[in-house]
Amino acid sequence: MQKLTNRAKQIDRSPMNLSERAYLPALAKGLGMTLSHIFKKKATVSYPEVKRPFSPVFRGLHVLNRDENGAERCTACGLCALACPAEAITMEAAERKPGEEHLYREEKYAAKYEINMLRCIFCGYCEEACPKDAVYLSESVMPTNYNRAAFIYKKEDLLIPNPQKKDSK
């Protein structure tokens, strides 16, 4: 019969000799293989004590940015939500009132801004779409949780600390 491939192996069906029946050579071979791995460089790390360096293009937890005066950069234009393929971003816009210029950079701001991290695929499209450099993906790894509600990140969770307040401390 014509072979389909050349990978077929002929099985040796001759009766086992004494040493083969005692399984000693196979045991020694297995032990030798185990011992040889003791001296080899480990392929694993003792996480979380040891952490591997991330790739320079790693995209982690989102951050909402402020300007140099501490005002929120986001103007609630909705472009990030529009660009998001996972429909993970929701927001509500509000008008800035007189006297709130130190809080919000533009005349419109996000009164509510939420990202559902269970939907997010960390593609970075929101960051690319933002015309105000208001949202970016940081190098922080998102913490795990057993509670689904904890994965809905609100504006307060995403906003970076106000640099002005930090200086004044």
* Integer angstrom CA distances of residue 169 from 126, 144, 159: 33, 31, 18
If one asks whether residue 70 binds ligand SF4 (CB under 6 A), the answer comes out as no
- Residue from 63, 80, 158, 159 that binds ligand SF4 (CB under 6 A)? 80
If one asks whether residue 158 binds ligand SF4 (CB under 6 A), the answer comes out as no
Question: Minimum distance between the CB of residue 40 and ligand SF4, rounded to whole angstroms?
Answer: 39
The span from the CA of 37 to the CA of 49, in Å, is 22
What's the chain's length in residues?
A: 169
Q: Considering beta carbons, is residue 125 or 151 the nearer one to ligand SF4?
A: 125
If one asks whether residue 151 binds ligand SF4 (CB under 6 A), the answer comes out as no
| DSSP for residue 148 | G
What is the CB-side half-sphere exposure of residue 90 using CA atoms within 13 A? 7
Q: Which range touches ligand SF4 (CB under 6 A), out of 4-12, 47-55, 115-123, 143-151?
A: 115-123
Name residues whose C-beta falls within 8 Å of residue 84's C-beta, 6 or more positions apart in sequence: 120, 125, 126
- Residue from 70, 96, 108, 123 that binds ligand SF4 (CB under 6 A)? 123
- Residue from 86, 103, 152, 160 that binds ligand SF4 (CB under 6 A)? 86
Longest dimension (CA), the chain: 96
If one asks whether residue 75 binds ligand SF4 (CB under 6 A), the answer comes out as yes
Q: Considering beta carbons, is residue 129 or 162 the nearer one to ligand SF4?
A: 129
Question: Minimum distance between the CB of residue 96 and ligand SF4, rounded to whole angstroms?
Answer: 13
Q: What is the pairing mode between strands 135-137 and 89-95?
A: unpaired
| DSSP for residue 144 | P
Please report, as ranges, the residues that interact with ligand SF4 according to CB under 6 A: 74-80, 83-86, 88-89, 91, 110, 115, 120-126, 129-130, 132, 134-135
